[in-house]
């Protein structure tokens, strides 16, 4: 599952705004989106990732994604950096 990808990643960025910035800078290898996140929150990330041909992986839980990132709150989007 993709939680393990986040845990094993050397570098990642948490959050939608930071993920969009990283996508625009061209440093992102893959984006992980939580399916239980509000579509309005994640739609800019998904759109930007598609524009830059970056793979999007979906996971089921914001809470589990946040935990995989080592934070106490849920995460709606995570960018795995090259």
Residue from 22, 23, 15 nearest 71 by CA: 15
Tell me the pLDDT tens digit for each residue of 19-66: 999 999 999 999 999 999 999 999 999 999 999 999 999 999 999 999
Task: Encode 57-68: b = buried (16+ Cβ within 10 Å), e = exposed.
Answer: eebebbebbbbb
What pLDDT sits at residue 23?
97
What pLDDT sits at residue 1?
55
Domains of the chain (ranges; CATH) run 2-81 (3.30.1330.30)
Tell me the pLDDT tens digit for each residue of 9-19: 889 999 999 99
Q: Output the CA torsion sign for 23, 21, 9, 37.
A: negative
What pLDDT sits at residue 71?
94
For residue 75, the SS3 value is coil
Are 81 and 25 within 8 A, CB to CB?
A: no
What pLDDT sits at residue 10?
87
């Amino acid at each position: 599952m993709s939680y393990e990808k986040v845990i094993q990643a050397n570098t990642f960025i948490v959050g939608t705004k930071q993920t969009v910035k990283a996508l625009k800078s061209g440093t992102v290898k893959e984006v992980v989106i939580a399916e239980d996140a509000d579509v309005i929150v994640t739609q800019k990330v998904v759109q930007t990732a598609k524009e830059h041909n970056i793979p999007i992986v979906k996971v089921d839980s914001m809470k589990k994604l946040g935990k995989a990132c080592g934070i106490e709150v849920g995460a709606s989007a995570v960018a795995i950096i090259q």
